[in-house]
Amino acid sequence: MKKRAIEAVGLLIMLILLFGGVNFLLGGVSDITYRIDGEYFSTGERELTLCLMTEEGTESLIEFTRLETLKIIPYKYAAAESMELGDEAYDTGLHRKAEDVYSDCTDLEDLSFLAPLTALKNLDISYCKVKDLSFAANMNVLESLDISHTEITDLSPLVEMDSLRELTVGEELSGDVTDRLTEKGVKVTFVK
């Protein structure tokens, strides 16, 4: 009887250690780090702000299963916003150099790498040079979308997005589609 009790306790301890080891391994693997456009991000992130100059590593975004909010800032706008130039900059020619950096940066046009991110709830692609919303066709839980200052002109795919609650667009896109979205309960914000 004692021998069976000792065996049972030993088996229980082995199971606990095995279960703990598996949990430890899974916990360690669940948050893998990927390099995206020169920066490192963990797959456990719920929010990401990316300043993309290239599409390097964007294919790894499919691994970000917990991602709910994604903001993509084209590099030239991030560079412009981060430059604080005073009077000294004008005097030393730094202002001219900053303008060159601003105008030489490329804009992000193709967002097809976002298509697999069907769990996104918030997406800000303002200032990107994207022209259509085809990448968002399967984003069935998307609640908030900022497409202001983009080249998107056809908003009709958004009418089919039942989850959409907030939309930010340029004022030039005011019209039938934005009226229909408002009727559906979407808060549409127009920006200059």
Q: For position 105, what pLDDT does the model report? A: 27
* Run of H or E including 97: helix 94-104
Report the chain's C-alpha Rg in angstroms: 24
pLDDT digits (tens, 9 = 90+) for 14-46: 656 655 554 444 444 457 888 776 778 888 888
> Which stretch of 33-37, 61-65, 104-108, 188-192 has the lowest confidence by average pLDDT?
104-108
- Summarize the confidence of residues 115-129 as an average pLDDT: 84
Better pLDDT: 147 or 51: 147
* Cα 32 from Cα 54, distance rounded (Å): 21
Does residue 161 come out as left (phi exceeding 0), alpha (psi in the -120 to 50 range) or beta?
beta
pLDDT exceeds 60 at position 86: no
Strand 39-42 and strand 122-124: the pairing is unpaired
Amino acid at 120: L
Q: Which residues pair with 33 in a beta bridge?
A: 42
CATH classification number, 41-191, choose in 3.40.50.300, 2.70.98.70, 3.30.530.20, 3.80.10.10: 3.80.10.10
Place of tokens 């990448």: 135
- Is the pTM of the predicted complex or chain greater than 0.75? no
Amino acid at 110: D
Looking at the chain, the whole-number percentage of residues with pLDDT higher than 90 is: 22
Asked if 102 and 80 touch (Cβ cutoff 8 Å), the reply is yes
